[in-house]
Amino acid sequence: MPELPEVETTKKGLEPFILNSKVKAVNIHFKTLRWPIPNEIASIKGLKSLGIERRAKYLLWHFKHGSVVMHLGMSGAMRIVSSKEPLQKHDHFEVVFANGKALRFNDPRRFGAVLWQTQDDPLAILENLGPEPLTDEFDADYLHQSLSKRKGAIKNAIMTNQVVVGVGNIYASEALFLAGIKPTAIANKVSKPRLAKLVEAIKQVLAKAIKEGGTTLKDFTQTDGNPGYFAQQLNVYGRDGEDCFKCESTIKRKVIGQRASYYCGNCQR
């Protein structure tokens, strides 16, 4: 599933093509994704984009009267192509620009979303979200306070959008490894100094993954069709049964909160 670095990579890939580009046509080839694509999206025809930003794992594509809100779901990808290029299977949504380019949203599993948000009516899915992990707002003081009443596993806690957005399964495992914290550690029992290490590890892992264009394990590709290269730098994720790069102990796998988690029992406590 595309996580924050993959969504940020997608945003950066789209931005130079769609900013100030006039929309010539909006084509809905398959209306029902995770939710039905609303007809109001056609109202961007004839307009120029005012910009695009990321909030959590959502992309908000702004116009003067509202925003197209997009989510990649489990297998979604967006790419910029010539509008004359034949559609691929699972190309469900398309915006054609006056310059002959087109943005196409491809989603084989159809868990992604293309929604419309007016300026005065924000979507409920964007409310009550925690801070962005790469901002100053996300620090040890904040995390310590947020986890003070959470008695579940630390890995589940940092993957909760109300605590901090965008720390998905891959990057949670990697950050906990760098911080030396076992993923099953009880969230409100982790000391503040250790949480400070975790905050820095989360920022480090996410920043590096964005620099490498995200992580391609199966479905994700960048807007130019290339894979993300961070998979080549994973320390624990997907490496169960292999030697730890630090201590040569065997990497373990454990299901926590219905998600596979990977860790080194020697390096992480």
Which pLDDT value is given to residue 136? 97
Which pLDDT value is given to residue 229? 36
Q: How many helices (H) and strands (E) does the chain have?
A: 5, 10
Residue 83 to residue 80: CA distance in whole angstroms: 9
Which pLDDT value is given to residue 215? 54
The closest of 235, 174, 220, 233 to 9, measured between CA atoms, is 220
CA dist list (Å): 219 to 66, 107, 108, 229? 30, 10, 9, 13
Which pLDDT value is given to residue 144? 98
Instruction: Tell me, yes or no, if the pTM score tops 0.75.
Output: yes
Residue 83 to residue 85: CA distance in whole angstroms: 6
Angle between the 192-211 and 4-18 helix axes, to the nearest 10 degrees?
A: 40
Encoded amino acid at 245, one letter: F
Which pLDDT value is given to residue 195? 98
Q: What are the average pLDDT values for consecutive 10-residue runs of the chain, which has 269 residues?
A: 86 91 97 96 96 94 95 92 96 97 96 93 89 97 98 97 94 97 98 98 93 56 46 83 97 96 97
**DSSP line for 201-238:** HHHHHHHHHHHTT-B-SSS---TTSPPPBGGGG-SSTT
Give the number of other CB atoms < 10 A from CB of residue 76: 30
Q: Which residues are catalytic?
A: 2-3, 57, 259
Which pLDDT value is given to residue 220? 39
The closest of 70, 119, 118 to 92, measured between CA atoms, is 70
Which pLDDT value is given to residue 213? 74
